[in-house]
Amino acid sequence: GWCPLSLAGAQTTQLLVEPPWTPAVLWDRVTLICQGLGTASATTWYKDGQRWWQSSHNRFTVKDSGTYTCGRPGSGLSPPVRVSNGPLVLQVPTRELLEGDTVTLRCRH
């Protein structure tokens, strides 16, 4: 599951990645989920810095590599998420990691 957002974090738009590994790779069938204030039907998506489309849904499955951002009225733009199509990637969980945590790394090709 997702870690709950802090009270400050609840005021900003977040772009969640499923499956929750970073960096995200296209061949994982990545779904991006935009969370923020306001209604999901007002989600605006950006790809590679350009306004891409406005959707009635707050999630979609990525078909092309690139850098994605989403925006919601009242909470602004999310931090960007890059989805690559590289042949070899070392992935870590997207959750916040602290010193001393045990973490699983995935080397994928």
| Residues 57 and 70: beta-carbon distance below 8 Å | no
Is 43 within 8 Å of 34 (Cβ atoms)?
yes
Q: Distances from the Cα of 21 to the Cαs of 10, 86, 91, in angstroms? A: 22, 15, 6
The structure tokens listed for 65 are 């590599």
* 14-108 CATH choice from 2.10.109.10, 3.30.70.940, 2.60.40.10, 1.20.120.450: 2.60.40.10
The CA distance from 67 to 59, in Å, is 15
Q: What angle do CA 28, 60, 15 make, to 5 degrees?
A: 85
User: pLDDT of 32-65, one tens digit each?
Assistant: 999 887 666 788 999 999 998 888 788 999 999 9
Measured in residues, the chain has a length of 109
Task: Please check the confidence at residue 103 and state whether its pLDDT lies above 50.
Answer: yes
**pLDDT for 12:** 85
User: Residue 54: helix, strand or coil by DSSP?
Assistant: strand
Q: What pLDDT, in 10s, does the model give residues 15-25?
A: 999 999 999 99
Domain range summary for the chain, segments of one domain joined by +: 14-108
